Amino acid sequence: MSNILAIAQKELKSYFASPIAYVVIGLFALLYGYFYVAILSYFVRQSMQLRQFGGPQSMNINQDMIRPLLQNVTVLVLFFLPMVTMRTYSEEKRSGTIELLLTSPLTDFQIIMGKFIGALTLYAIMLGVTLIHTGVLFVYGNPEWKPLMTSYLGLLLLGGCFISVGLLISSLTKNQIVAGMVTFAVFLFLWVITWIGSFSGPTMNELTTYLSIIDHFEDFAKGVIDTTHLIYYVSFITFGLFLTAKAVDSERWRG
């Protein structure tokens, strides 16, 4: 476990030793802030109109404010996580340090888990920025905290799936740009796969709905923790890391 944490710490330091972490976190915070202000303005405007026409005194802040906001975070994840994962193995191959890493007294499992935890920690820091905005809602409003917690759990699991895919693709190429572009393409495919099923029969539609990585997040955003979604995300992460291990193992043998 200490070796895994040491690699994770090294990965996290490497992110902040370069502009990657600062650019990713800064742009993420900027775009999230824009969504926050836009959705909050719409929420306040709609609430005032409801009062004016004799409707309910207020809208549901979880359903009408926080849920759409965090669903927009999933769009940001689609664009930003490829920038986080594209360098994990590609940079090691480009700089030639992959040979040192693979010949060190570390197992493939320790290397992969260390890189995975390092990238996931950076992603958690990105999500942590959003807690500042959410805290303002608790100061001036009265949102329910349980749906909020399940939403963040869903975002972490969603990000874990994307990171596992990003690690796999990064382990297959030396070029960071290629790794980033292919990772984004795979993310996008997993996002829109339900569109394929919608033009097919009911069986294909049901299959693509289950395979869609974003559809499993919707219940988390509603405050529902379904074991089906948990199993899907954990299985997805495990399978992605397993394929990464196979790719790293083949690199070891070729080396």
Q: Is 84 exposed, middle or buried (0-12, 13-18, 19+ CB in 10 A)?
A: buried
CA distance 39 to 120: 27
Q: Which pLDDT tens digits describe the chain residue by residue (255 residues)?
A: 778 888 888 888 888 888 888 999 999 999 999 999 998 888 888 777 776 765 555 577 878 888 888 888 888 998 999 988 888 877 777 776 666 666 677 777 888 898 899 999 999 999 999 888 888 888 877 788 888 899 999 999 999 999 999 999 988 888 888 888 999 998 888 888 877 766 666 777 777 778 888 888 888 888 888 898 999 999 999 999 999 888 877 766 665
Which stretches of the chain are DSSP H helices?
A: 2-17, 19-52, 61, 67-85, 90-95, 97-102, 108-140, 145-170, 176-198, 202-211, 217-221, 227-254
Q: Domains in the chain: how many in total?
A: 1
pLDDT score of 254: 60
- pLDDT at residue 253, rounded to an integer: 64
Name the residue range of residue 97's domain. 2-254
Q: Give yes or no for a contact between 117 and 4, defined as CB atoms under 8 angstroms apart.
A: yes
Query: How far apart are the C-alpha atoms of 153 and 160, rounded to whole Å?
Result: 11
CA distance 30 to 108: 37
How far apart are the C-alpha atoms of 156 and 152, rounded to whole Å? 6
pTM of the model: 0.88
How high is the pLDDT of residue 137?
A: 81
